[in-house]
Chain A
């Protein structure tokens, strides 16, 4: 990334909008909800200036269905919401998975269940990672932790969505969305150009009769397969795609080499953990951090490699929910293939504001093999 590009101080939500538009997004559909309102606000300003379309829909259900339509036309498009709004979008999200459409959704998660509060939470992990709607659908899930990553990950989101013709969810929370930090507006190295996105959509997008010349077969984008064997074939195709997506697993590790304990945390909580570990390191305590960047596909191979590199090393999952990602960590490390490493868990309740100091005790106890569950 170029250091010559000036840094601007913007919110994570604003960075999402700038990143999306810079990545080529030209349609936004959404309905307001805290703590992500700066996304539609900024989009409503940016999109008309690039001949894009901004629509404040009558509901989240409508917004998600509008997104389906724009994606079917192969236009880089997105929506964003939080908590209950994302729940309302699950029907269309399942349809977009079934229809193999490159939708991008941003969830700046708030506390739940129900209407909950407007504070940070990681309680939507299962919903994002395990599907959320009906049927066997899988979203690629990216978890930014900083405003700069909010910007960068929007490029990655559109690149992955179009590469796999699959919905991508960017999962932040109230902290990631509301934090203001310096951001450089330069495309990351893995960005695809708008022309590359268009080329990826060219083989399947619906673009109006006659556009591809006389006699061209009509295209139909759908998720209904009633003929005998058709749905099984469709699900086989989806399964093959989901398997291929596993190559996109990403993670970051900090100070893990000599660590007998590795904390596993993502998003805003990984930031708090990083400060906790910095304070502990100054006291001579060596603890590392493993941060999943993609939550689906989950970076299980990298996690297994960490376990194999130092047999006997323990893992402590810290997340702001009642125990969700810990299941994926345990699955990754289960049995001989996962070295059978011990996995402890500490949960921060949604409704709390996490900071580095409050995590010191659970980490110290985990070093001694003791679990403070919450």
Chain B
């Protein structure tokens, strides 16, 4: 496994889809992998039901700008987020698009896209709430940013003890996304 030196990603969706959770997870895993990382959440006054996004930067030197105009990658879990971030994706960048909630006709065919039915796959594993993990798994495969096992292991530090019993299923959801086509 080769991992690239610098990576950034904007993760976006509805409040409640777990955008912040996978942003946190990715930053935690990156830190544990020995990288410099930053995680910056952006939301307005709204929370559940509103749109939310976060930016994660992974680097070998200390992170400069924690926000990016043209991200190297995005994970978009709903349609409003695709409309907002697809035009900003860097040339040659990759977007992970939630096929369960986003019409394929809206996806720019010139963009490198992993069109993955994250909600449906998560439901099959046990809960639609893990669609975020499926999407993150697909992102790990598409970017080679961090090893899958590293992110799966980091679940133990990011998921609270109250929900620890859900960690194996979430690890499975990450793997399912990673192994998707």
Contacts and interface: CB of A to CB of B under 8 A. Distances in A.
A276 interface: yes
B64 A272 contact: yes
Nearest to A269: B65
Interface in A259-273: 268, 271-273
A234 interface: no
Contact of A182 (B31, B40, B70): B31
Nearest to A254: B64
B66 A179 contact: yes
Interface string B23-50: 0100110010000111111101100000
A271 B36 contact: no
Contact of B24 (A179, A180, A271, A272): A180
Interface string A126-153: 0000000000000000000010000000
Contacts of A268: 66
A80 to B, nearest CB: 19
A185 interface: no
Given A9-B28, A271-B64, A272-B64, A357 B37 contact: no
A356 B38 CA distance: 15
B63 A181 contact: yes
A180 B67 contact: no
Contact of A353 (B38, B63, B67): B67
A9 B65 contact: no
Contacts of B38: 179-181
B69 interface: yes
Interface string A231-272: 000000000000000000000000000000000000010011
A180 B27 contact: yes
A357 B70 contact: yes
B161 interface: no
B39 A118 contact: no
B66 A271 contact: yes
A357 B24 CA distance: 24
A182 B31 CA distance: 7
B67 A355 contact: yes
Given A7-B31, A181-B37, A271 B65 contact: yes
Contacts of A346: none
B27, B31, B37, B70, most chain A CB atoms within 10 A: B31
Given A7-B31, A357-B70, A179 B39 contact: yes
Interface residues of B, number: 22
Interface string A336-374: 000000000000000001111110000000000000000
B39 A272 contact: no
Nearest to B61: A278
B2 interface: no
B69 A146 contact: no
A137 B142 CA distance: 56
B64 A274 contact: yes
A358 to B, nearest CB: 6
B90 to A, nearest CB: 9
Interface in B50-103: 62-70
B65 A356 contact: yes
Nearest to B39: A180
A118 B39 CA distance: 18
Contacts of B41: 178
Contact of A358 (B37, B62, B69): B69
B36 A356 contact: no
Contact of B45 (A118, A180, A182): A118
Given A180-B24, A180-B39, A182-B31, A272 B62 contact: no
Contacts of A275: 64-65
Nearest to A271: B64
A355 B31 contact: no
A180 B68 CA distance: 16
Given A9-B31, A271-B64, A356 B40 contact: no
B169 to A, nearest CB: 23
B27 A9 contact: yes
Contacts of A273: 64
The 4 closest A-B pairs by CB, nearest first: A275-B64, A357-B69, A275-B65, A274-B64
Given A271-B63, A353-B67, A357-B70, 9 more contacts: A9-B27, A9-B31, A9-B37, A118-B44, A175-B40, A271-B66, A272-B65, A275-B65, A355-B69
